[in-house]
Structure 1
Amino acid sequence: MSNHYPLHLFDSYRRDIVKFESIEPEKVGLYACGPTVYDFAHIGNLRTYLLVDLLRRTLEFNGYQVNHVMNITDVGHLVSDADSGEDKMEKGSRKRKQSAWDIALYFEECFFKDLNLLNIKTPGIVCRATDHIDEQIEFVKALEEKGFTYETSDGVYFDTAKLDDYGHLARLDIQGLQAGARVEFKEKRNITDFALWKFCGDEPRQMKWQSPWGEGFPGWHIECSAMAERYLGTMFDIHLGGEDHIAVHHSNEIAQSQARYKTHMANFWMHGYFLQIDKQKVAKSGKSILLSDLVEKKFDPLAYRYLALTSHYRSRLNFTWQSLEGASRALSRLRRVMLTYPDGGKVDESYSRQFVAKLNHDLNTPEALAVLWKLVQSQVSAADKKATILYFNQLLGLNLHNIKADEVIIPDDVIRLAEQRILVRKNQDWQASDRLRDVILEQGYAVEDLKPGYRITPVKMDQDNE
């Protein structure tokens, strides 16, 4: 089916939505910053990887062959982006009382299990920082030869003052940062300078390597520059990460590429915005919700994927259990209607064009979902609805092609009873509430009251009279 709306994406570097054109026809080099594997990924982290998956699916849908590269940070990421504090891997090792190497492999495995539960495609290339130390050393040496480095007592640093437009991605006010600094630079020349190679110092350390500057380990930013160059070249199509990468990590990656190759590394820089809990960034909310927490509460992980689709990736999404319950109900409803649709239909061209136009305009998933539900309520034949929704599913990744007939689907009438029960409870009609609960139970379902909302779960037949 022809696509009448070409792909447009927001480029953080230009701060504008721009028509996407790949460097090499019909091929895309995509680098996405991966996890630091010292702990479990929380659902805020996973929102970024849902974005990566959505982008990859959209690129492939538009006919591109995607070379998707993702790094695994298993060394060099300090607890502070300002090159202070200890390495997160060493901190995780001490906390877990296991070697840094062992926890890296364990949490990497956990991360990929989460990706699988969310139906996120595995990158074509997964590269660990510890497997590419030589490439990182060579990159630092090249920067040194070009005069962009200096050495202090604790490491080799990049001199950001040597670049006229350092921090352009984040539109950093360098002079303001210098003047307003509340911490000592110590031996750093500029507040924005960053470590390329850190020395071990007096602290015992598990992950360390020999280098031309002495025994130590690479800084966090150099790994992405070195590995992206190896697998995608000195200039590639798209670099993606979270919004927290803009001011420091990605600005520093760009600086390294500018210094060595006079490029800004990628044609498009894309960033997913934070998931919030109680309207605070996850890291600051004091609540680190894992995907396993959702599963423990009997939520399908794909309900979280659906929830992420309800918000544009450049909007901050506020997570609540009520919003997840709503997403779960919407997904269940979609599955129910799909089971009622027969096979043998064809894709409806009008709705498919509307849907693709929304996705191709900077991945506008909320409006794309609106098109889907408009289709469900339309006069299009049931068979054509099914074919069209399966066509949409290539981008949405909700596994709608794989619904099992025996999968538990909560009937509409049960949901209506639960909604009615909410209303009578608001009126404090407890007898009616209990009566509706019993009617729901007679139909094989238990209703659990939440604050706010409810959850419906199936019960075994022998529990009906308990």
Structure 2
Amino acid sequence: MKTWTRPTVPRLPGFGPIPRIFDSATRRLVETSTEDVASIYVCGITPYDATHLGHAATYLAYDTLIRLWLDAGLSVDYVQNSTDVDDPLLERAARDGVDWRDLAAAQTELFRGDMEQLRIIPPDHYVAVTEVIGEVADAVKILEDAGLAYAVDSPDAAPDLYFDSSFTAPAWHLGAESNLDRATMLELSAERGGDPQRSGKRDPLDPLLWRSERSDDPAWDSVLGRGRPGWHVECSVIAMKYLRSPITVNGGGSDLIFPHHEFSAGHATALNGQALAGIYSHAGMVAYHGEKMSKSLGNLVLVSRLAAADIDPRVIRLALLSEHYRSDWEWTDAHLDIARKRLERWTTWAATMADETDAFLAELRLVLSDDLDSPAALTAIDSHIAAGGSASVVLVDAIDALLGVQLL
């Protein structure tokens, strides 16, 4: 699947430090890479109601990480999926009376445009689930043959296949990535696409691997018969196809900690015996009007609507960078007001740019490398400007390279 245009990222003098980020599995800050190549898989959108600010904040977080890796002299392999067939997408298409494929295509194109406006570095491989149906089915067949997938009867179709979450290995056991107790897992499974109440399952937490064909439901021919994949195994297969295991970072919103990232990791280990990732990283949730910004609530602030209101995409980017990526926070109009004034100050300052080096670059790199602390970086730049610090070529380029904000 095509991606979007890559922004130009200036090359700065020297190299920045290897960034540290918070690993949800171990609950500590860890250095992200000690090798020459860093790899990252970020879970993509289900393409409807794109692109709200919760999406944008997540992809901006990992854009910052990638920019820091590049500044540290690393090569980066980046993969992102698009869940372009899934129950919520099908339900939205049916509600609106449109073909689900047309809805997915239109919303994916809107997402691409939003990412390009925000100057988010695109993935090297942008993969639609519908592009890998056969490969996912082959992986599920491997699990079935190994005794790790089992059939659950359905009254209106052939049996579905589920993953046996009692599977354990040195690299994974249930709860290894999420660190959650069973009661919380059951609650989140019911809220986030699981079906803990379905009869016939060995364990209520066992996730769906393959859904057999139903009438009026998309289905593909495969080694398993006609049907479509479950949610979690799709990401496992895509990540393993394009990235060497274990990948450096598996990223996404914190609402993916369980069950999605937990079982994506479990499926991957069951298939190849290795951990899916060395680090599991999660961005916080963005609220609006007192509630988490979500499609189900309809309290969405869309990037495209802000842009249509002539809000500079740099202002949107600065507004999002003003909150720490791991924090849960609430969007207000004040975020835009503050970001707009900040951009005005910075662009006025940058217009006085002189061709000289700047020792402030080291400070900026250090601040950002400490768990992607963009709010502290913005504050440090504000203080540098307020103290009469020069607008050197290097520093203006650094704001572009590290924060993705072009001032000139």
Question: Would the alpha carbon gap of residues 147 and 307 (structure 1) be closer, same or farther in structure 2, given more than 3 Å must change?
Answer: same
Question: Would the alpha carbon gap of residues 166 and 180 (structure 1) be closer, same or farther in structure 2, given more than 3 Å must change?
Answer: closer
Query: In the alignment, which residue of structure 2 is the partner of 1:411?
Result: none
What's the secondary structure of 1:127's corresponding residue? strand
Unpaired segments of 5 or more residues in structure 2?
1-12, 155-159, 191-195
Question: Would the alpha carbon gap of residues 321 and 4 (structure 1) be closer, same or farther in structure 2, given more than 3 Å must change?
Answer: closer
2:174 aligned to which of 136, 155, 166? 166
Q: How does 1:64-213 map to 2 (within 5 A)?
A: 64-75=74-85, 77=86, 87-154=87-154, 155-163=160-168, 165-174=173-182, 184-201=197-214, 203-205=215-217, 207-213=218-224
What's the secondary structure of 2:238's corresponding residue? helix
Q: Give, in angstroms, the shift of residue 252 of structure 1.
A: 0.7
Query: In the alignment, which residue of structure 1 is the partner of 2:6?
Result: none
Cα deviations by residue, 1:328-376 (Å, 9 ceiling, x for unpaired): 121122112222x144x22312x11111011111111111112211221
Is 1:28 the counterpart of 2:41? The answer is: no
Question: Would the alpha carbon gap of residues 40 and 13 (structure 1) be closer, same or farther in structure 2, given more than 3 Å must change?
Answer: same
Query: In the alignment, which residue of structure 2 is the partner of 1:221?
Result: 232
What's the secondary structure of 1:13's corresponding residue? coil
What's the secondary structure of 1:71's corresponding residue? strand
**Residue 163 of structure 1 aligns to which amino acid in structure 2?**
T
The number of equivalent residue pairs is 382
Q: Give, in angstroms, the shift of residue 287 of structure 1.
A: 1.3
What's the secondary structure of 1:198's corresponding residue? strand
Give distance in 1, aligned partners of 2:183 and 2:311: 49
- Is the CA contact (8 Å cut-off) linking 1:178 and 1:190 kept in structure 2? no
Give distance in 2, aligned partners of 1:21 and 1:115: 26
Q: Give, in angstroms, the shift of residue 196 of structure 1.
A: 0.5
Q: Give, in angstroms, the shift of residue 27 of structure 1.
A: 0.9
Give distance in 2, aligned partners of 1:136 and 1:116: 30
Q: Give, in angstroms, the shift of residue 256 of structure 1.
A: 0.4
Query: In the alignment, which residue of structure 2 is the partner of 1:447?
Result: none
**Residue 363 of structure 2 aligns to which amino acid in structure 1?**
Q
- Is the CA contact (8 Å cut-off) linking 2:25 and 2:179 kept in structure 1? no
- Is the CA contact (8 Å cut-off) linking 2:287 and 2:328 kept in structure 1? yes
Q: Give, in angstroms, the shift of residue 322 of structure 1.
A: 2.1
**Residue 292 of structure 2 aligns to which amino acid in structure 1?**
K
Query: In the alignment, which residue of structure 2 is the partner of 1:274?
Result: 285
**Residue 319 of structure 1 aligns to which amino acid in structure 2?**
W
- Is the CA contact (8 Å cut-off) linking 2:133 and 2:229 kept in structure 1? yes
Q: Give, in angstroms, the shift of residue 93 of structure 1.
A: 2.4
More helix by percentage: 1
Give distance in 2, aligned partners of 1:150 and 1:90: 26
**Residue 357 of structure 1 aligns to which amino acid in structure 2?**
L
Q: Which stretches of structure 1, 4 residues or longer, exceed 6 Å deviation after superposition?
A: 178-183
Unpaired segments of 5 or more residues in structure 1?
78-86, 404-466
Normalised TM-score (structure 2): 0.88
Query: In the alignment, which residue of structure 2 is the partner of 1:261?
Result: 272
Give distance in 2, aligned partners of 1:388 and 1:337: 11
Query: In the alignment, which residue of structure 1 is the partner of 2:5?
Result: none
Query: In the alignment, which residue of structure 2 is the partner of 1:414?
Result: none
Give distance in 1, aligned partners of 2:185 and 2:369: 38
- Is the CA contact (8 Å cut-off) linking 1:274 and 1:281 kept in structure 2? yes
Q: Give, in angstroms, the shift of residue 8 of structure 1.
A: 1.5
Question: Would the alpha carbon gap of residues 102 and 176 (structure 1) be closer, same or farther in structure 2, given more than 3 Å must change?
Answer: closer
- Is the CA contact (8 Å cut-off) linking 1:347 and 1:391 kept in structure 2? no
- Is the CA contact (8 Å cut-off) linking 1:137 and 1:211 kept in structure 2? yes
Q: Give, in angstroms, the shift of residue 3 of structure 1.
A: 4.7
- Is the CA contact (8 Å cut-off) linking 1:11 and 1:18 kept in structure 2? yes
Give distance in 2, aligned partners of 1:176 and 1:286: 25
Q: If you compute each CA radius of gyration, which structure gives the higher value, 1 or 2?
A: 1
Is 1:367 the counterpart of 2:380? The answer is: no
Question: Would the alpha carbon gap of residues 97 and 314 (structure 1) be closer, same or farther in structure 2, given more than 3 Å must change?
Answer: same
